[in-house]
Structure 1
Amino acid sequence: MSGAKLLLVEDDAALAELLSWHFKKEEYNVIHTSDGEEALLLVKEHRPDVILLDWMIENLSGIEVCRNLRRSSETANTPIIMLTARGEEEDKIRGLETGADDYITKPFSPRELIARVKAVLRRVRPALAGEKLVFGNVEMDTVGHRVKRNGKAIALGPTEFRLLRHFLEHPNWVFSRERLLDSVWGQDSDIELRTVDVHIRRLRKAINVNQQPDIIRTIRSAGYALDTEAA
């Protein structure tokens, strides 16, 4: 799971430090807060791949944070694992019904939590579980920086490679031009929105050789998505 962004929302300083250490050892990029309201801001700023969310936190409860995240289309699919001392069945059901993907009761071992995070990411973001990304007949070796379609090598420029990688890591997700600029070019980029369209055209031209179906779907007034239905 090297490079996966993890947001830890936990107000127990000792536990937060312990978990941060263990996840950083597993090469996760860990962001921590003890505050529910700040957690919502950090999600918008950093767009984590997975969220560990304590039930009892400052200003806004974990349940309310979870509910807020599930209401937004941008975070509706972000994996959330609830951390809590509450072990009652009704509390577990409430957490899951609010939108949590998993639930772990304190005390727990960091190893078990890491295993659960990996399991959730494998289900929701399989790209983070390995070095090879596959969608249909498109295959990317993220370490060797090679792309193939139907077994034939495809030459991509650096920006097109990053763009395709982003789509492959989020299959079927719709991304606006603004979101793509932030994710592929970086939040501090001064590049114009129409630049995204230019690179999308270049990417399409490269991967749709030999009359291959177009797997990049254009959604009017919304953006783009990697989608087998696009063909």
Structure 2
Amino acid sequence: MATILIAEDDHAISDLVAYNLERAGHVPLAAYDGLTALEVARRDKPDLILLDQMMPGMDGHGVLRELRRDSRTQGIPVIFLTAKAQAEDRIQGLELGADDYVTKPFSPKELVLRVASVLKRCEHTPGSVIAEYGPFTFDKNALKFYIDKEEVDLTATEFKLMVYMIEREGQTLNRNDLLSCVWGYSHQAQSRTLDTHMKRLRQKLAPYADCIETVRSIGYRFLLPGRRPRQEPA
């Protein structure tokens, strides 16, 4: 059971989403404008936020920027739920740090599955499981990531993507496999989602951005600094 904030100015859509989340065992909270959404997020610290992009007071992009700047809310996963379906809108939302992007009209069943997928990859338990790979260190339970012992702020999705790639270091990873294993589903329309997350990861990995290689027409490969790619079966 998770507490989920629905930041949506259309009351009918908010009620529909809340009904389906309750049926799935979650506890919905509602906010009908951007400023109220920020207030509720800071006060109640929900497990996940469903965020409309066009709201009065402050739009979804503005809300997400404030969420990611605030230490109290920067780790809360966010799924955009919006009528803005253009690729540029999706990319902008993901670059701001959203974990997923669902366009209207939407299937309530699919939305609940997307929520479950994001919650699953954000799970962590007390304690510490440390893994080190060259200059990179992961605390898998605390979802913390370090480069040269300095902490780097990754979203839960970025963290899972990094772990998935680095544990398969040197292997060429198919785009569909990455989408399925990290996001829990694979669809051609989500390829830009993957590309946007890779772009953000490269920015955060500086000066090791080149560790993520694009393999044309296939996907991506992660190589530790100074490593040559392993020969793969033909």
Residue in structure 1 matched with residue 41 of structure 2 by the alignment:
43
Residue in structure 1 matched with residue 93 of structure 2 by the alignment:
95
Q: Which amino acid aligns with 1:54?
A: D
Distance 1:89 1:114 in 2: 23
Cα drift, residue 134 of structure 1: 7.9
Cα drift, residue 171 of structure 1: 2.6
Aligned pairs (5 A) from 1:49-60: 49-60=47-58
Unaligned runs of 5+ in 2: 130-140, 145-234
Residue in structure 2 matched with residue 115 of structure 1 by the alignment:
113
TM norm structure 1? 0.55
Distance 2:26 2:77 in 1: 15
Residue in structure 1 matched with residue 3 of structure 2 by the alignment:
5
Distance 2:57 2:40 in 1: 15
2:106 corresponds to 1:73: no
Would you say the 8 A contact 2:127–2:142 is kept in 1?
Answer: no
Residue in structure 2 matched with residue 229 of structure 1 by the alignment:
none
Cα drift, residue 56 of structure 1: 0.6
Cα drift, residue 88 of structure 1: 0.7
Distance 2:38 2:84 in 1: 23
Distance 2:16 2:81 in 1: 14
Residue in structure 2 matched with residue 20 of structure 1 by the alignment:
18
Residue in structure 2 matched with residue 83 of structure 1 by the alignment:
81
Residue in structure 2 matched with residue 191 of structure 1 by the alignment:
none
Flag the structure with larger Rg. Answer: 1
Unaligned runs of 5+ in 1: 128-132, 137-169, 174-231
Q: Deviations over 1:50-83 (max 9, x none)?
A: 0000001111001100010011122111100001
1:12 to 1:97, Cα distance in 2 relative to 1, 3 A: same
Q: Deviations over 1:196-221 (max 9, x none)?
A: xxxxxxxxxxxxxxxxxxxxxxxxxx
**RMSD value over aligned CA atoms?**
2.2
Deviating above 3 A after TM superposition, structure 1's stretches of 4 or more consecutive aligned residues are: 133-136
Cα drift, residue 12 of structure 1: 1.1
Cα drift, residue 126 of structure 1: 4.9
- For 1:83, what is the secondary structure of its paired residue? strand
How many residues are aligned here? 135
TM norm structure 2? 0.54
Match for residue 104 of structure 1 among 88, 102, 105: 102
2:169 corresponds to 1:171: no
Distance 2:31 2:46 in 1: 13
Q: Deviations over 1:116-141 (max 9, x none)?
A: 111111111256xxxxx8865xxxxx
Distance 1:16 1:91 in 2: 21
Would you say the 8 A contact 2:5–2:46 is kept in 1?
Answer: yes
Distance 2:41 2:92 in 1: 22
Distance 1:102 1:134 in 2: 28
